Amino acid sequence: MPTATPTTQQATTTDFDDILYEVEETYAVITINRPEAFNSFRSQTVDELIEAFTLAWGDNRVRSIILTGSGQKSFCAGGDVKQKAETGDYGPSRYGMFRISELHKVIRSVPKPVISAVNGVAIGGGNVLTTLCDITIAASHARFGQAGPKVGSFDAGYGSAFLARVIGEKRAREMWYFCELIDAQKAESWGLANEVVDADELMPRAKERARALGLKAPTALRFLKQSFNADSEMQTGFTNLAMSALDLYAHSPESHEGATAFAEKRDPDFSRFDGAY
Ligand SMILES: CC(C)(COP(=O)(O)OP(=O)(O)OC[C@H]1O[C@@H](n2cnc3c(N)ncnc32)[C@H](O)[C@@H]1OP(=O)(O)O)[C@@H](O)C(=O)NCCC(=O)NCCSC(=O)c1cc(O)c2ccccc2c1O
C-alpha cells in the first residue's frame, strides 16, 4: 500500500479515452465516459479508472473523490458484454490483464472518501462499484441490480459478500438470483444509497458533500475509512479466489452463451448446462 509521504505534486492528467478526470476545489471527479456502451467497462476503462484513483490518492489537493457516469442513462452497466461476446474477453489492456479486482481494492484503499453519484442504471459490475463507494447519492431515476446469472457471470467476492453486508443476506440473494433492477427509493430504503435527489440536483449535491468533506480533518477521515474497511477486509481473500474462479468461468461455454445472447438481443438458452461444469 502506498505511504502518505508527500512527493512532488503531479500535474492533473486528463489524457484518458474511456473516462474523464478533473480536480475541482478539494475533490476529484472521475466520470466513466462510454455512453455509446451504456458506460460499461472494458479492460482499458478499468486501467484508466485505477490510474485516476491513484492520481487522486497522491494529489494533496484532493480530499474526496466523486465517481459518476456520463449522460443521464447509465452510471455503469458493468462489463462490456458485447466486447466479451466478440473476443471472449474485455479487450486489450495496458498490462495484459483485466484488473477489476485491483479497481475494487483501490476504491477501498484510497484513504479518502469516495462518493458515487448514480446518474442512471448501476448494474452488474457497475452495481459492485457503487456498493464499494463510501457514500452513494442516487438520482431519482437511478436503478440498481445484478445481471450475472442472465449473462453468464458472477462476482463471488465483494460483489456478493460485501453487498450482503450492506443490504442484508436475503436482499443480496434476491438481487443476484433474480437479476431484477430496484429503483432509487428502494435502494435508499435497503441502505444501498444514502440519499435520493432529483436528476438535476445529483452533481450539485455530490459536490456539496465533497466540499463538506474537504473541511474535515483528513487524517481522521483516513483512519475512519481504514477502520470501516478493517471489519470486512477478510472478504479480500474471497475476492481473490472469486476472481480466479470467474476468470475460468468467463471462458466456459455457459458464460459464452450468456454474453452472446445479450449481444444478439435474444434470451439465453442455459438448458444444456447442468451446473456441474
Ligand atoms: C443496462 C440495461 C438494463 C439497460 O436496459 P435498457 O432497456 O434501458 O437499454 P438497452 O438494453 O437497449 O441498452 C442500451 C444500449 O446499451 C448497450 N448496453 C447496455 N449494457 C451494456 C453492457 N454491459 N455492455 C455493452 N453494451 C451494453 C445495449 O446493448 C444497447 O445498445 P444498442 O446498440 O442496442 O442501442 C440493459 O442494457 C442490460 O441489462 N445490460 C446488460 C447489463 C450486464 O449484463 N452487465 C454486465 C454484467 S457482467 C459484469 O459486469 C462483470 C463484471 C466483472 O467485474 C467481471 C470480472 C471478471 C469477469 C467478468 C466480469 C463481468 O462479467
Instruction: Compute CA 215 distance to the chain's CA centroid, rounded to the nearest angstrom.
Output: 26
Q: Cβ(24)–Cβ(60) under 8 Å?
A: no
Closest CA to 114 of 99, 126, 129, 98: 129
Nearest to 93 by CA among 155, 26, 40, 41: 41
Q: Which three cell numbers stand for residue 135?
A: 457514500
Residues 112, 67 contacting (CB under 8 angstroms) = no
Instruction: Assess whether pLDDT exceeds 80 at residue 11.
Output: no
Residue 147 CB-density burial (10 A; 0-12 exposed, 13-18 middle, 19+ buried): buried
C-alpha cell at 265: 438481443
Residue 146 CA: which ligand 1 atom is closest? 47
Alpha-carbon span 176 to 163, nearest angstrom: 10
pLDDT for 276 equals: 62
Mutate which of 38, 101, 248 for ligand 1 pocket (most atoms within 8 A of beta carbon)? 38
Q: Which of 39, 81, 260 to mutate to test the pocket of ligand 1 (most atoms within 8 A of CB)?
A: 81
Cβ atoms of 248 and 146 closer than 8 Å: no
What is the dotted CATH code of the domain comprising 19-200+218-263?
A: 3.90.226.10
* C-alpha of residue 69 to centroid of ligand 1, in Å: 14
157 lines ligand 1 (CB under 6 A): no
258 lines ligand 1 (CB under 6 A): no
Nearest-atom number in ligand 1 for the CA of 83 is 25
pLDDT at 15: 85
Q: What is the pLDDT of residue 275?
A: 73
Q: What is the DSSP string of 108-136?
A: HHSSS-EEEEE-SEEETHHHHHHHHSSEE
158 known ligand binder: no
* The predicted structure's pLDDT at residue 274: 84
Contact 193, 143 (CB under 8 A): no
Res. 264: pLDDT tops 90: yes
What is the CA(92)–ligand 1 centre distance, in A? 19
Span 196-213, pLDDT tens digits: 999 999 999 999 999 999
46 lines ligand 1 (CB under 6 A): no
How far does Cα 1 stand from its chain's mean position? 20
pLDDT tens per residue, range 26-41: 999 999 999 999 999 9
The annotation status of 124 as a binding-site residue, yes or no, is yes
What's the pLDDT tens digit per position in 90-143? 999 999 999 999 999 999 999 999 999 999 999 999 999 999 999 999 999 999
**What is the average per-residue pLDDT within 157-166?**
96
Residue nearest to atom 38 of ligand 1 (CA): 77
Q: Ligand 1 pocket, 125 CB below 6 A?
A: yes
Cell 471489519 belongs to residue: 231
CB neighbour burial string for 188-207, b if at least 16 within 10 angstroms, e if fewer: bebebbbebbeeeebbebbb
Is 147 annotated as ligand-binding?
no
Where in the chain are the domains? Answer: 19-200+218-263
Report the complex ipTM. Answer: 0.98
